[in-house]
Amino acid sequence: MPQHLPNVAPDCLDVPSMERLQVRPSTHPPRILLLYGSLRERSYSRFLTLEAERLLRHFGAETRIFDPHGLPLPDGAEAGHPKVRELRELSAWSEGQVWTSPERHGAMSAVMKAQIDWIPLSVGAVRPTQGRTLAVMQVSGGSQSFNAVNQMRVLGRWMRMVTIPNQSSVAKAWQEFDEAGRMKPSSYYDRVVDVMEELVKFTLLTRDVSGYLTDRYSERKEVAEKLATRVGLGAI
């Protein structure tokens, strides 16, 4: 029996249904953007990102890696800066993302945070991150830690992304990669395989219904109220 909800605008309420989730699936490869958080020449977060890209391509995804070199600090340039525009266009292109950061002073790196801060919640009617899937990974110079991935999870939620359950944290990263920058066989590498496999699955599952999954009552109500105000002003 329908419940009496006196504080709800009934015209803006949508009762979730399986029918709305049954759509014709896209046939193009999942589009994944990868970000890493270090400018070092021998960057373990970049090495880990490259390993992730190889796996994603093996799983059939189309990938892009953003190079953070030359990206200005947030508010240190206009949004029309070429690197800022490139980053935002890649985020809008993506259906899923991978964020990989080194842990610095118990937190994600400034390079990683700057990239995330340059991606807004909305640009006009476009939301560059909402509904996209997200996998988070980190590298540490010492013992295993989860500070960076936990912080990135918080940011992913703030950016309205679908952050997958699995994650990767590679401890003592300096001994997990060979001279060529390839990751050595280990349980750490196995976890990276797990994470990328899971990311592709979640992306395939959600990308065609992300608009429905992120459609909110409060936003529909706000739009309806603005429209009613405009109609009322037009009648004056």
On whether residue 134 sits in a domain, the answer given is: yes
The per-residue pLDDT for 125 is 67
User: In the predicted model, what is the mean pLDDT of residues 128-144?
Assistant: 93
User: In the predicted model, what is the mean pLDDT of residues 144-152?
Assistant: 95
On whether residue 2 sits in a domain, the answer given is: no
User: In the predicted model, what is the mean pLDDT of residues 177-192?
Assistant: 97
User: In the predicted model, what is the mean pLDDT of residues 28-42?
Assistant: 97
Question: Helix axis angle, 82-93 relative to 110-118, nearest 10°?
Answer: 70
Residue 86 predicted with pLDDT over 90: yes
Query: 216 vs 59, which has greater pLDDT?
Result: 59
The per-residue pLDDT for 105 is 94
The per-residue pLDDT for 116 is 96
On whether residue 17 sits in a domain, the answer given is: no
CB atoms within 10 A of CB 195: 21
On whether residue 201 sits in a domain, the answer given is: yes
Q: What is the pLDDT of residues 2-27, one digit of tens each?
A: 567 788 888 888 888 888 888 889 99
Phi, psi of 126 (to 5 degrees): -95, 130
Q: What is the CATH number of the domain that holds 185?
A: 3.40.50.360
On whether residue 5 sits in a domain, the answer given is: no
User: In the predicted model, what is the mean pLDDT of residues 67-78?
Assistant: 96
Domain, as residue range, for 52 = 27-235
On whether residue 199 sits in a domain, the answer given is: yes
The per-residue pLDDT for 1 is 45
User: In the predicted model, what is the mean pLDDT of residues 66-93?
Assistant: 96
Number of domains in the chain: 1
User: In the predicted model, what is the mean pLDDT of residues 109-138?
Assistant: 91
pTM here is: 0.90
Average pLDDT over the chain reads 92
The per-residue pLDDT for 235 is 64
